[in-house]
A and B are shown apart, each in its own frame.
Chain A
């Protein structure tokens, strides 16, 4: 169905000088959408042109509206020669396509050029008139909301969580087309940016269609990735979780009083039929009834959930859960089986969510993961991306079977990733096997779920730890004890998961970031041989990573890992593994045992001594960590529990099996069984190193905490000022004489270093400001605070480049230099230096590591300061504003916050404005002049931030949540003074209101809220 896109070009400012003679610019603007182009008049001789154009109107299909970006090009008019491009702005108009979000995009956008970076700004107004067609969501998927956030967005309520959606589109990479040999780098970059923009638009539309088929209205946990496969093409793939969301107009609407109206609303989100009478007619179009057969049951659920008695509700929904036409048995006992069968009917019972509505998660089995090594071949037909689809299908199937082996019917916290080096590609998928509460899958309100939970007598805070599998028929050897919390169900002794810590989980002490790092050399090989070598190495890497994680967890005295992400990356002659997770002590799980060290040669006295010394050191560390993270589990006498708390003697045996319970259920299990994970045998220097590496993890400065989950376990006093940052490091390393061991150590140091950098960089700023605080007057105090609290939140993509040298002609001297630097403790990877510019991809395998690191800097003593200042702040801040007003009053730039979290501490998100998904390429041919690689990338990252902020501000938002830099590929050629970088970022644009200001905003009566959230039938809510 068509829509009308209207664009107005208002003005420009700070344009670059394009005419050297006059030091001015004759600028005009081309506005392009699809194949239609409009132009503004030329505004002569000005760096701040006022075009004030008419409304340019594009009449287009909404399919195009979804796929195409609006393309605005600013040019300098030249009478005699070709017009020079100043730069471009791409605007994704998707947020305008659902009425709930932004209604207009209006604001200043940085004009971006892939060679020169940001060159001035342009003020644009964009509107969309979607024709009010009842059928308008049939052909395209306008109106489906997308969220990057991996939990139910804050101002919505999940009515149904439908399940996994995935899509994948492929194309040729413009960088590798023949035409690239003759066109300019700028043209090539722009072609690439445009193509990726188009592809992600198409991808979103296709995913939206699937969601509509499932009768959902939103995608949560939307994760889109690019695989730059080089010669063989470009793959854009995305996964997400389809949901039906209900907007919560205010916290009050959540109350039961508002229940019935909100039930009626449920049909509205689909917007399939404005007529309320047809809602029970089930499938009204052929589109609806496909593989996702459970959706027709919705009509039942609607009725049942609006009824008042929750008991009657259960069987009814049970019926509902029986799929498509089949009437499920009305017995509650069958419920689980039914939902399981319902889930099994889905191709993949996966959920990309990592945090869930209360009651959704019943049991957690453990981490499941699967990897596969593939050889890339050219994608011959972009319209049929079957091979890639098949690859992923294979992996997902494997994950599914792993989950099943764990007695789980679903996988939560699911994610997929790739690592590509030349023509070898490692596909990885991982998630957490879990048993879910069926309510949410078919229907169900939060209330009914809570009811049901009570019915099943699942005590809050430990239910999810209970094993989902049969005790007598365990999928792997694991040691079980009775839950320390409820003493009724069995729990494993260690739990690894990829999800966030459930809100209701009982945690003792604080959590901390735990990382396992690993580096392995591999022979340089081609194609098949290479792939074989990699797949042979993979299991060992997984095993080692796992052992490291387990040891470090023990060392911290903790018993569960959340938010686990294992990344294995391939380079030309190296494999790297990095696992990050947040360790916590779950009250429900047993106290972890210590780590025993056993010497291989017991006769040697000095050796013995050494071993016992080591043992002592380890024990000390554990004790210290326990104190540091305040882990003081209440002493429970064994008689009360009556459960097999192991005797000291048994402990070591128990330790042995611990790893299994949490293990990825892969082939690796076998190897695990043979080796004892917690009795470390020092039989050679290698093992020695291992133990050393355990102990070399430097504890962060006191008062500094880091984790990679949404919530910092054990710490609740967040301050509201947050600062997100990106840190990128590349370090070269010669691998000439490096052993696995040395590499490991180096790599370890690198990660450690990076952590330290952030930690101390934060500390530096923090300390300074604190010192100032004590000396300054009241007014300035609050001012200082504003800047102090800025650095709570750390995200850093850490780029590790591994590439090899032998084929590249390094001058020998240089080689030495490089290895010297590696010896001095700075590690990492090495890269070739002399390669032709046009074949960037040939030489570079760089990748980004994403460690979502959220840290909190609360220094002892500063908490008090913060509190006192807070009291004084409203007035003093006001004072300050007045004071600074004269010089800066005319600043037009609003502040936009960015955070990798899904929320903003101390603030409430009032509106989601749409997804931000941007892709930029920056290239330079004057690398030295721009300050070398660091200067180049620093400027680029700052520009990317600026463009994200500008788009959010133009949508009317003031923050980006769930921000993530998904890709950052950096390539350089210092000999030619050139460099190129690709960055892909995404997040959710939101409006937030500080909680202090909130009272004013939410003062409307709740009834009014209900009214306003249930508008007439023709719009999405």
Chain B
């Protein structure tokens, strides 16, 4: 029963949250109608299927027209065509930019390019998310990325300002942009146990400490050519990290470090003997990760390396999380007592962030 022309337009544009969700999830009108029927709405309201169909069509048309505006949320606020209460506008935007955990894990760290877009078919089959929804989410990532990529200032603030997202969602997008820009590898099998939240947590720490914006260079040097302060890692910092190599290269220093840590932790660690046996390996792993970060390739593998060099060895020895924490704290702190080591600040900047990341990454 399709009518040739059948519209129902209200002065105030009413948004049915359920239909909006169905639309966002990429269901066709017919599927959406079927799902709504199953929800028992017909019985509740005494409506006929035809009415439901036309109601759904009306909503879909409205969403379709709104989509253009949602691509630039400030436009939605100022546009005159749809009279939507502010609370509803916020809801529209927030829901439109929301994404599926399963999807974001597939795309996180990948280049947001046409090539990736072609793979969406596979992602859709793999995750069970409709291709339409995948496209929307991918395009959202890409759009946000394009807008804030070249922008100065805080990444989260920029996203919030240009897309009017909630704080939470803006932080997530910052992580997505940061990962996409640095192309961190997240898809390896080893990393599958990690959630988006884990990565987002790490991203936030890294943005706060390892980027140019973190050292507050911009205000003092406004003429610098560095545009994307929050998005790129501080190159100089990465270069300097080579200096940390001495901690493992210098045998005396390494031994001294080990003894300092062991002395401090003796009796406090359940896995003390394992720690003692593994100390040199772990330390070498952590320091080598730092030293390698000058190469882009190694930057990308950061998380793989961390999991391989630290998380996995500890996990195989069944370290409890608390012991990991105690160890990492002592491990970073003890360096201050190494007289021959001159790069304390550098070490703190590196290890402070890494410690946070490792603790977050350390779970099953």
Taking a contact as CB atoms under 8 Å apart, the answer to whether A731 and B4 are in contact is yes
Contact of B337 with A by CB under 8 A: no
- B51 partner, pick from A110, A760, A888, A893, beta carbons under 8 A: A760
Residue numbers in A under 8 Å from B10 (CB-CB): 723-726, 790-791
A732 to B1, CA, bound (A): 12
Taking a contact as CB atoms under 8 Å apart, the answer to whether A761 and B3 are in contact is no
- B6 partner, pick from A729, A880, A941, A945, beta carbons under 8 A: A729
Name which residue of chain A comes closest to B161, CB basis: A887
Interface locus among B38-46, B105-113, B125-133, B260-268: B38-46
Interface locus among A231-239, A299-307, A930-938, A1000-1008: A930-938
Contact of B81 with A by CB under 8 A: yes
- B11 partner, pick from A14, A108, A937, A945, beta carbons under 8 A: A945
A433 CB to closest chain B CB (Å) equals 36
A935 to B29, CA, bound (A): 14
- A893 partner, pick from B58, B78, B160, beta carbons under 8 A: B78
A725 to B83, CA, bound (A): 12
Taking a contact as CB atoms under 8 Å apart, the answer to whether B81 and A943 are in contact is yes
- A931 partner, pick from B4, B47, B64, B160, beta carbons under 8 A: B64
Taking a contact as CB atoms under 8 Å apart, the answer to whether A826 and B54 are in contact is no
Contact of B297 with A by CB under 8 A: no
Residue numbers in A under 8 Å from B93 (CB-CB): 887
A892 to B3, CA, bound (A): 38
Interface locus among B84-92, B192-200, B343-351: B84-92
- A725 partner, pick from B11, B45, B52, B82, beta carbons under 8 A: B11
Contact of B14 with A by CB under 8 A: yes
Taking a contact as CB atoms under 8 Å apart, the answer to whether B14 and A791 are in contact is yes
Contact of B37 with A by CB under 8 A: no
Residue numbers in A under 8 Å from B45 (CB-CB): 701, 760, 763-764, 767
Taking a contact as CB atoms under 8 Å apart, the answer to whether A701 and B90 are in contact is no
Taking a contact as CB atoms under 8 Å apart, the answer to whether A949 and B7 are in contact is no
A123 CB to closest chain B CB (Å) equals 11
Contact of A193 with B by CB under 8 A: no
Number of residues from A at the complex interface, CB < 8 A = 65
A729 to B3, CA, bound (A): 7
Interface locus among A20-28, A308-316, A442-450, A894-902: A894-902
Residue numbers in B under 8 Å from A786 (CB-CB): 85
Name which residue of chain B comes closest to A799, CB basis: B5
Contact of A157 with B by CB under 8 A: no
Taking a contact as CB atoms under 8 Å apart, the answer to whether A937 and B88 are in contact is no
| Interface residues as binary, A774-818 with B (CB distance below 8 Å gives 1, 0 otherwise) | 000000000100110011000000010000000000000000000
Contact of B122 with A by CB under 8 A: no
Contact of B75 with A by CB under 8 A: yes
| Interface residues as binary, B15-51 with A (CB distance below 8 Å gives 1, 0 otherwise) | 0101000000000000000000000010011111011
Chain B contact-residue range equals 35 or more
A972 CB to closest chain B CB (Å) equals 8
Taking a contact as CB atoms under 8 Å apart, the answer to whether B8 and A887 are in contact is no
B269 CB to closest chain A CB (Å) equals 46
Question: Given A826-B1, A931-B61: A884 and B80 within 8 A (CB)?
Answer: no
Taking a contact as CB atoms under 8 Å apart, the answer to whether A891 and B77 are in contact is yes
Considering only residues 535-581 of chain A, those with a C-beta below 8 Å from chain B are none
A753 to B52, CA, bound (A): 12
Residue numbers in B under 8 Å from A763 (CB-CB): 45-47
Taking a contact as CB atoms under 8 Å apart, the answer to whether A760 and B86 are in contact is no
A108 to B51, CA, bound (A): 36
| Interface residues as binary, A722-742 with B (CB distance below 8 Å gives 1, 0 otherwise) | 011111111110000000000
| Interface residues as binary, B158-171 with A (CB distance below 8 Å gives 1, 0 otherwise) | 00100011100000
Considering only residues 918-961 of chain A, those with a C-beta below 8 Å from chain B are 931, 933-935, 937-939, 941-943, 945-946, 949-950
Taking a contact as CB atoms under 8 Å apart, the answer to whether B5 and A110 are in contact is no
Residue numbers in A under 8 Å from B227 (CB-CB): none
A891 to B82, CA, bound (A): 13
Which of B14, B16, B44, B48 is most buried by chain A, counting CB atoms within 10 A of its CB?
B14
B333 CB to closest chain A CB (Å) equals 40
- A753 partner, pick from B8, B50, B166, beta carbons under 8 A: B50
A787 to B81, CA, bound (A): 19
Taking a contact as CB atoms under 8 Å apart, the answer to whether B46 and A942 are in contact is no
Contact of A497 with B by CB under 8 A: no
Residue numbers in A under 8 Å from B165 (CB-CB): 887
A790 CB to closest chain B CB (Å) equals 6
A895 to B78, CA, bound (A): 12
Residue numbers in B under 8 Å from A821 (CB-CB): 1
Taking a contact as CB atoms under 8 Å apart, the answer to whether B5 and A730 are in contact is yes
Residue numbers in A under 8 Å from B87 (CB-CB): 783, 880, 884
Name which residue of chain A comes closest to B9, CB basis: A941
Contact of B326 with A by CB under 8 A: no
A760 to B44, CA, bound (A): 10
Taking a contact as CB atoms under 8 Å apart, the answer to whether A824 and B1 are in contact is yes
Taking a contact as CB atoms under 8 Å apart, the answer to whether A937 and B7 are in contact is yes
Contact of A758 with B by CB under 8 A: yes
Residue numbers in B under 8 Å from A13 (CB-CB): 78
- B77 partner, pick from A110, A758, A888, beta carbons under 8 A: A888
A753 to B54, CA, bound (A): 12
Name which residue of chain A comes closest to B55, CB basis: A761
Residue numbers in A under 8 Å from B89 (CB-CB): 888, 891
Question: Given A731-B4, A761-B51: A891 and B78 within 8 A (CB)?
Answer: yes
Name which residue of chain A comes closest to B74, CB basis: A890
A315 to B90, CA, bound (A): 66
Question: Given A763-B47, A764-B55: A934 and B7 within 8 A (CB)?
Answer: yes
Taking a contact as CB atoms under 8 Å apart, the answer to whether A764 and B47 are in contact is yes
A803 CB to closest chain B CB (Å) equals 13
A110 to B8, CA, bound (A): 22
Taking a contact as CB atoms under 8 Å apart, the answer to whether A756 and B48 are in contact is yes
Question: Given A14-B75, A730-B3, A760-B51: A938 and B11 within 8 A (CB)?
Answer: no
A774 to B45, CA, bound (A): 17
Question: Given A768-B16, A880-B87, A933-B4: A938 and B61 within 8 A (CB)?
Answer: yes
Residue numbers in A under 8 Å from B11 (CB-CB): 723-725, 897-898, 945, 949
Taking a contact as CB atoms under 8 Å apart, the answer to whether B83 and A761 are in contact is no
Contact of B247 with A by CB under 8 A: no
Taking a contact as CB atoms under 8 Å apart, the answer to whether B14 and A938 are in contact is no
- A110 partner, pick from B64, B75, B80, beta carbons under 8 A: B80
- A108 partner, pick from B75, B80, B86, beta carbons under 8 A: B80
Taking a contact as CB atoms under 8 Å apart, the answer to whether A787 and B79 are in contact is no
B9 CB to closest chain A CB (Å) equals 4
Contact of B12 with A by CB under 8 A: yes
Taking a contact as CB atoms under 8 Å apart, the answer to whether B85 and A14 are in contact is no
Residue numbers in A under 8 Å from B41 (CB-CB): 764, 767-768
Residue numbers in A under 8 Å from B75 (CB-CB): 14
Contact of A867 with B by CB under 8 A: no
Residue numbers in B under 8 Å from A761 (CB-CB): 8, 47, 51, 54-55, 58
Name which residue of chain A comes closest to B86, CB basis: A888
Taking a contact as CB atoms under 8 Å apart, the answer to whether B80 and A950 are in contact is yes
Taking a contact as CB atoms under 8 Å apart, the answer to whether A946 and B9 are in contact is no
Contact of B148 with A by CB under 8 A: no
Residue numbers in B under 8 Å from A783 (CB-CB): 87
Considering only residues 213-232 of chain B, those with a C-beta below 8 Å from chain A are none
Residue numbers in B under 8 Å from A701 (CB-CB): 45-46
Taking a contact as CB atoms under 8 Å apart, the answer to whether B8 and A731 are in contact is no
Using A118-B81, A121-B80 as known contacts, list a sample of 15 further A-B pairs with CB atoms less than 8 Å apart, ordered by residue number in A.
A723-B10, A725-B9, A725-B11, A756-B47, A760-B51, A765-B14, A767-B44, A767-B45, A887-B160, A893-B77, A893-B78, A896-B83, A931-B64, A938-B7, A950-B80
Write the residues of chain A forming the contact surface with B, with a CB cutoff of 8 angstroms: 13-14, 108, 110, 118, 121, 701, 723-732, 753, 756-758, 760-761, 763-765, 767-768, 783, 786-787, 790-791, 799, 821, 824-826, 880, 884, 887-888, 890-893, 895-898, 931, 933-935, 937-939, 941-943, 945-946, 949-950, 970
A/B interface sample: 7 pairs, CB < 8 A: A723-B10, A730-B4, A787-B88, A891-B77, A937-B7, A946-B83, A970-B5
Name the 8 nearest CB pairs between A and B, nearest first. Answer: A760-B47, A730-B5, A725-B10, A888-B86, A763-B45, A898-B11, A941-B9, A727-B8
